[in-house]
Amino acid sequence: MPSNQPDGYLALPASGSGSGVLVLHAWWGLNDTIKSFCTRLAEAGFVAFAPDLYHGQVADTIADAETLAEALFANPDGAKADVTAAAAFLNERAGQADSGLAVIGFSLGAYFALELSVTAPEHVRSVIVFYGTRPGDYSDALAAYLGHFAETDEFEPQPNVESLAESLRNAGRPVTFYQYSGTGHWFFEPDRPQAYNEAAATLAWDRTLAFLKNSS
């Protein structure tokens, strides 16, 4: 393990090298679902790294997750610095400094993935978000965008999704958003049994993999 690795989880393909994918966790923290997701990416040939924005804390209940998320957004600059450091580490580890990274964000992590594509556009070639948005101007971005959204989502209302799509298109960015019928927030996460939708999750994974391979 490189000595300069930030807090987080690194998954390597069998070859030991590949295109870099930065994975930003949901408000639960760096749990087994995110680690397993990184492992799946590595099995598909990518170097995946998920920084631990909570530095060791993991929530299982909504109440605990809200507490951790509120603390994180009370000092957003700290979280943004962690994401920037993780991107720098992954760029070096994957040897992709010239072509840039793919960044995948889940819910809370989607906000920071979208943020990074604006604040460090030269390092981000593609962004994939799972049921998360960020308002703002994307005119500085250079990435292509893929979004996976639920049909009914109390945490990410449809107007937010439509606003993000409009902002990206206004900035001239390639954008493809999918809405998965019969799903709610967390539909991709198998450790959320009340929300997990296997068919939608499988389709979202296939679309994610195709997008990554086309943009690498």
- Asked if the structure places residue 1 within a domain, the reply is no
- Show the domain range for 28: 8-215
The string of pLDDT tens digits covering residues 157-168 is 999 999 999 999
- Asked if the structure places residue 146 within a domain, the reply is yes
Give the residue among 79, 88, 139, 85 at the shortest CA–CA distance from 111.
79
Q: Which amino acid is at 60?
A: D
- Asked if the structure places residue 3 within a domain, the reply is no
Looking at the whole model, is its pTM more than 0.85?
yes
Query: What's the CATH number where 196 sits?
Result: 3.40.50.1820
Domain count, the chain: 1
The string of pLDDT tens digits covering residues 106-154 is 999 999 999 999 999 999 999 999 999 999 999 999 999 999 999 999 9
For residue 157, give both structure tokens.
Answer: 């209302």
Q: How far apart, in Å, are the Cα atoms of 91 and each of 20, 165, 216? A: 7, 27, 13
The dihedral through the CA atoms of 69, 21, 184, 202 has a sign that is: negative
The DSSP code for 20 is E
- Asked if the structure places residue 98 within a domain, the reply is yes
pLDDT bracket for residue 2 (50, 70, 90): very low
- Asked if the structure places residue 2 within a domain, the reply is no
- Asked if the structure places residue 179 within a domain, the reply is yes
State yes or no: pLDDT of 3 exceeds 60: no
- Asked if the structure places residue 21 within a domain, the reply is yes
The string of pLDDT tens digits covering residues 9-18 is 999 999 888 9
Q: How far apart are CA 24 and CA 185, in angstroms?
A: 16
The pair phi, psi for residue 51, each rounded to 5°, is -70, 150
Q: How far apart are CA 33 and CA 137, in angstroms?
A: 31
